Structure 1
Amino acid sequence: MSPEDEQGYPEAGQTRTRLPGGDPYGGAPRRTGRTSSRSLVTVVGVVVLLIAAIAFANRGDSSTDDPTQKNTAPRPAPTAASGTRPVDTKVGGIPSGFAHTEQGAQSAAANYAVALGSAEMFNTAWRHEIVDTVYATDVAAAKQSAMDSAYSNPKFLSNIGLTKDGTAPKGQTFVSRVIPVGTKVTSSGTDSTTVAVWYTSLFGLSGQASTNPVTESWYTTTYELKWVGKDWKITDFQQKDGPVPVGRDQTASTADDMTKAVEEFGGFTYAR
């Protein structure tokens, strides 16, 4: 449809209908002045309706006349940042000291997911520090034992291309990164909150001789958090695949480009 059609102008070649009482113009062509004036009225009418529609849309969906609710700001969209600074401190390189709020719990879950998905988890000393930092004291010891068994398993390390001590073979770089996409609270209480973190993960070995190139995966991990002392701590978690987006037809980078990117691009402190 053309702009002229939208504003009510007659289409080219349109036949004029004669009324039963005869043509009020006596069969003569319509006067230019009358046509211009009717067109102007039509345009003005469309503009007025458009302005009214915009004004109605801007009113929002409030269904109450309570004056205390009229100036209430709308809730932020799921992807919108809260604007609140997450933390000012770190413990062992991990953000800590999150606010005792739902937003604080979401920020904690996102940052803990990054730490638990990092390459440092394959180093025994670093793994112990990470687990002690992000887990509640009463479950940390049990988690340490379970993770030591998993991350030190020779078969597991061999399958992902690492040496027995959890390091990359000579000439290769081990990549293990978690990049949160979003978080949501699934249940909340005064001192306990459950937060789901949706993220993409980069995992593999970059290098010319690598047989396990860096690949991308998508997961959602749900963390059960408890307020311990002055911070949120993990008590348990569950992980599932996806949601997974459709991949684009992009050419994979070379091993050298991937290694360079991992060495040059640092991570973030994640905030809700």
Structure 2
Amino acid sequence: MSLGDEPGYPETGHTRTRLPEGDPYGGASRRGGRSSSRSLVTVVGVVVLLIAAIAFANRGGDDGSSDTTGNAGNGSGPATSSTAASGTKPVETKTDGIPTGYAHSAQGAQSAAANYAVLLGSTGMFNKESRHWIVDGLYTSTAAAKLQNALDTAYSASFLGKLGLDASGNAPQGSTFVSRTVPVGTKAEQYSGAGAKVSVWYMGLIGMSGTSSTNPVTTTWKTWTFDLQWSGGDWKISTDSQTDGPAPVPGDDQAATSDAISKAVEQYGGFTYAR
């Protein structure tokens, strides 16, 4: 999932978001009634709980990697090449459905971080069995051992219930739970042969799509920073953290109906991202 809370958007006084006619998300009013506000606060609160649990479990020291951005102390901006796509495939193989075998390079570390953010922001994190193999596959063995219990506690039946899911992370019949992370870009903050620090700027989608949903699918903007270690021939996460934004001003787009969102989630697959 997109493990982030709803960011605050700049108030310009000239930007609005049109909702579709017919109130597709269970009769929410155009101006957002008290029920919708309470639902949003609930989602924000429980997602913040997850971030806190991960941060607590991930507490650790610096990975000792060195800065290779070439901008330390000189105040200059990034080179044009830093944002240009490489055109190189990120991986050739998968292990238990997880892309593996990233290049032992700064580019490989960025590709790994982007794809790890996708997995960690997916609906698979809301089911205990799939969450365990995702965490075991992406984190170092030490980090995974610290995270599993903390995440099991955070993804409790009570928490899942507040999102409209059952104890196994399943949505009610006729509804679709949406949790996706869509990377916008990556940046190598630090890199050495043994480790890397990579930031992933992403947009997240989270919510329940259905006619009776009180938590409609909304977007969040976050930056997810991963401390990676080269271990066992691949990049593994040792620690990670998130910050809000940067969030663009929302456009004047008409919100889709719940049925359209459900169909889009079912019909549009994700990507394997490459730096």
Asked whether the two chains share a fold, i.e. TM above 0.5, the reply is: yes
Aligned to 2:199: 196
SS in 2 for 1:196: strand
Indicate if the aligned counterparts of 1:181 and 1:198 stay in contact, CA closer than 8 A: yes
Indicate if the aligned counterparts of 1:76 and 1:82 stay in contact, CA closer than 8 A: no
SS in 2 for 1:165: coil
Aligned to 2:189: 186
Aligned to 1:97: 101
Distance 1:248 1:138 in 2: 43
Aligned to 1:57: none
Aligned-pair Cα RMSD in Å: 1.4
Residue 233 (structure 1) aligned with residue 248 (structure 2)? no
Deviations 1:135-161 (A, max 9, x none): 01122111111111111x233212222
For 1:203, give the aligned amino acid.
Answer: I
Give 4+ residue runs of structure 1 displaced > 2 Å after superposition.
75-79
SS in 2 for 1:186: strand
Larger radius of gyration: 1
Distance 2:195 2:81 in 1: 23
1:78 Cα deviation after fit: 3.6
Distance 2:160 2:129 in 1: 17
1:190 Cα deviation after fit: 1.6
Gaps of 5+ in 2: 1-78
1:187 Cα deviation after fit: 1.3
Residue 136 (structure 1) aligned with residue 140 (structure 2)? yes
Aligned to 1:149: 153
1:95 Cα deviation after fit: 1.0
SS in 1 for 2:81: coil
Aligned to 2:20: none
For 1:84, give the aligned amino acid.
Answer: T
Aligned to 1:218: 221
Distance 2:140 2:128 in 1: 19
For 2:85, give the aligned amino acid.
Answer: A
Give the number of aligned pairs: 198
1:100 Cα deviation after fit: 0.4
Distance 1:138 1:127 in 2: 16
Deviations 1:208-261 (A, max 9, x none): 111111000000010000000100000000111100000011110001100000
1:76 Cα deviation after fit: 4.8
Q: Structure 1 vs Structure 2: percent identity of aligned residues?
A: 56
For 1:112, give the aligned amino acid.
Answer: Y
Aligned to 2:128: 124
- TM-score for the superposition, normalised by structure 1: 0.70
SS in 2 for 1:179: strand
Higher relative contact order (CA 8 A, sep 6+): 2
Question: Aligned ranges for residues 52-67 of structure 1 at < 5 Å?
Answer: none
For 1:138, give the aligned amino acid.
Answer: T
For 1:217, give the aligned amino acid.
Answer: T
Distance 2:95 2:200 in 1: 21
Deviations 1:45-91 (A, max 9, x none): xxxxxxxxxxxxxxxxxxxxxxxxxxxxxx65343211211100012
Question: Aligned ranges for residues 68-107 of structure 1 at < 5 Å?
Answer: 76-107=80-111
1:123 Cα deviation after fit: 1.1
For 1:91, give the aligned amino acid.
Answer: T
Deviations 1:79-110 (A, max 9, x none): 32112111000122221110000000000000
Residue 267 of structure 2, aligned match among 258, 264, 267: 264
SS in 2 for 1:77: helix
SS in 2 for 1:270: coil
Distance 2:136 2:174 in 1: 32
Distance 2:261 2:213 in 1: 12
SS in 1 for 2:274: coil
1:199 Cα deviation after fit: 0.1
Distance 2:166 2:137 in 1: 26
SS in 1 for 2:131: helix
Distance 2:179 2:236 in 1: 23
